[in-house]
Amino acid sequence: MSLSKYVELALKLGADDAVEFSIDDIVFDSRTILKCMYGCSDWGFGNTCPSRPGSLKPWEYEQVLRKYSRGIIIHSTDKKISQDVSFEIERQAFMDGYYFAFSMSDCAHCNKCAGFAGKSCINPKKARPAFHSVGIDVFKTVRKFGLPIETLKDKDETTNWYSAVFID
Identify the pLDDT of residue 52: 79
Q: In the chain, how many domains are there? A: 1
Residue pair 9/92 in contact (Cβ under 8 Å)? The answer is: yes
Range of the domain at 117: 4-167
pLDDT attached to residue 40:
78
Q: Shortest CA distance to 126 belongs to which of 96, 162, 88? A: 88
pTM: 0.89
pLDDT at site 21: 97
Task: Give residue 96's pLDDT.
Answer: 96
CB 6 within 8 A of CB 93: yes
What confidence score (pLDDT) does residue 114 get? 73
Q: How far is CA 2 from the centre of its chain?
A: 21
The beta strands (E) that lie in 53-136 are given as 70-76, 102-104
Q: Which residues of the chain have pLDDT under 70?
A: none
CA dihedral 145, 29, 129, 143 (to 10 degrees): -10
End-to-end CA distance of the chain: 11
